[in-house]
């Protein structure tokens, strides 16, 4: 079985869904819509969508429902990247090999594009056709995603991330807390949204999936830190460099890789438990291996 083909097929599916969604919005010639498209349609790895579709396949969630969830999560992710890159946050001029949204369209329009993508995500989640999903479950999905990205999730992580830049040194436990809120919680939410929509929901299974999601989410971030560290090492001369307080600069590349391997083993142990419960987990194993073996930016 060629798992890369499955990955590519999910990637192609969500890319088309995002393209259709954004192209069906009114005011297509406005700078707002152009900025939203610019930030969303090009360059995304769609790893969160792969998780959503794979979890949905394992637990028998309708694929139309998975489309809605994937669109919403990818829109949220795009919004977060726009705002992360802003001069007042990370001050990054490039994203996915191109100019950041605020460099291309200006800071004001970038902020508005991020705001519009976030509101569109919840519009999709609240109105999109989701076969087999009751209104009660739909409310749970909206609540889950909003919690994952708000003051107890991604925004809190970004706040802690900004505060760390004012410190001369950062404790590794503080960094891991930032990664948990800023990165891992949206990955966990992606899996939860897919599983909450399943007709065979079990609280015990959700707890296992939560642990799996956190492990791979943290591994994602450390791998991304290593990628940034290797590519931006010259920036260490700048005291304001964002790569001073990341895993490789705090504990070194070898120790960072050891942490990834520990998280990798923990993630696989969860998958083995699911396999013993007669769930087919090979596509999740593929993704877990992909994270560990690559230095792709998320």
Statement: residue 21 has pLDDT above 70: yes
43: left (phi over 0), alpha (psi -120 to 50) or beta: left
Strands (E), 32-156: 94-95, 98-99
Q: Rounded to a whole number, what is the largest CA-CA distance in the chain?
A: 55
Taking CA atoms, 295 is separated from 85, 152, 210, 221, 231, in Å, by 20, 28, 23, 10, 11
Give residue 166's pLDDT: 64
Residue with more model confidence, 176 or 107? 107
For CA atoms 19, 25, 29, 31, give the dihedral sign.
negative
Assigned token pair, 263: 């998280």
Give residue 236's pLDDT: 47
Backbone angles phi, psi at 98, to 5 degrees: -130, 170
Nearest to 69 by CA among 57, 85, 86, 87: 57
Give residue 161's pLDDT: 87
d(CA 86, CA 96): 15
d(CA 112, CA 53): 29
Nearest to 189 by CA among 225, 230, 147: 147
pLDDT grade, residue 294 (50/70/90)? Answer: low
Residue-wise pLDDT for 189-243, tens only, equals 999 999 999 998 899 999 999 999 999 999 988 988 887 777 765 554 444 445 5
Domains and their CATH numbers in the chain: 3-293 (1.10.600.10)
Strands (E), the chain: 94-95, 98-99
pLDDT grade, residue 167 (50/70/90)? Answer: low
d(CA 102, CA 189): 27
Q: Mean pLDDT of all residues in the chain? A: 90
Give residue 74's pLDDT: 98
> Could you tell me whether strands 98-99 and 94-95 are parallel, antiparallel, or unpaired per DSSP bridges?
antiparallel
d(CA 79, CA 91): 15
pTM of the full structure = 0.92
Statement: residue 296 has pLDDT above 50: no
Statement: residue 32 has pLDDT above 90: yes
pLDDT grade, residue 262 (50/70/90)? Answer: very high
Residue with more model confidence, 295 or 252? 252
pLDDT grade, residue 297 (50/70/90)? Answer: very low
Contacts of 19 (CB under 8 A, 6+ apart): 41
**First-residue to last-residue Cα distance in the chain:** 25
d(CA 182, CA 177): 8
Q: Identify the three-state secondary structure at position 95.
A: strand
Indicate the range of 7-21, 125-139, 151-165 predicted with least confidence.
151-165
With tokens 């065979």, the residue in question is: 200
pLDDT grade, residue 45 (50/70/90)? Answer: confident
Other CB atoms within 10 A of residue 221 CB:
24
């Amino acid at each position: 079985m060629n798992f890369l083909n499955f990955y590519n097929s999910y990637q192609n599916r969500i890319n088309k869904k995002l393209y259709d969604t954004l192209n069906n919005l009114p005011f297509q010639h406005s700078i707002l819509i152009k900025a939203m498209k610019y930030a969303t349609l090009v360059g995304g790895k769609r790893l969160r969508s792969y998780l959503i579709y794979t979890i949905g396949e394992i637990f028998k969630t309708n694929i139309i429902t998975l489309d809605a969830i994937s669109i919403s999560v990818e829109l949220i992710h795009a919004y977060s990247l726009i705002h992360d890159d802003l001069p007042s946050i990370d001050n990054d001029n490039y994203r996915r090999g191109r100019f950041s949204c605020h460099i291309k369209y200006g800071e004001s329009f970038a902020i508005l594009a991020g705001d519009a993508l976030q509101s569109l995500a919840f519009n999709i989640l609240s109105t999109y056709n989701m076969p087999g999903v009751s209104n009660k479950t739909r409310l749970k999905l909206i609540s889950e995603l909003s919690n994952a990205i708000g003051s107890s999730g991604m925004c809190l992580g970004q706040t802690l991330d900004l505060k760390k830049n004012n410190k001369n040194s950062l404790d590794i436990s503080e960094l891991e807390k930032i990664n948990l809120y800023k990165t891992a919680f949206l990955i966990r939410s992606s899996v939860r949204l897919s599983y909450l929509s399943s007709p065979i929901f079990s609280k015990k299974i959700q707890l296992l999936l939560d642990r799996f999601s956190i492990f791979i989410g943290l591994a994602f971030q450390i791998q991304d830190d290593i990628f940034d560290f290797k590519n931006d090492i010259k920036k260490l001369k700048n005291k304001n460099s964002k790569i001073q307080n990341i895993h490789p600069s705090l504990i070194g590349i070898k120790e960072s890789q050891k942490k990834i391997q520990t998280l990798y083993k923990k993630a696989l142990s969860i998958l083995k438990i699911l396999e013993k419960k007669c769930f087919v987990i090979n596509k999740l194993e593929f993704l877990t291996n992909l994270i560990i073996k690559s230095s792709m930016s998320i």
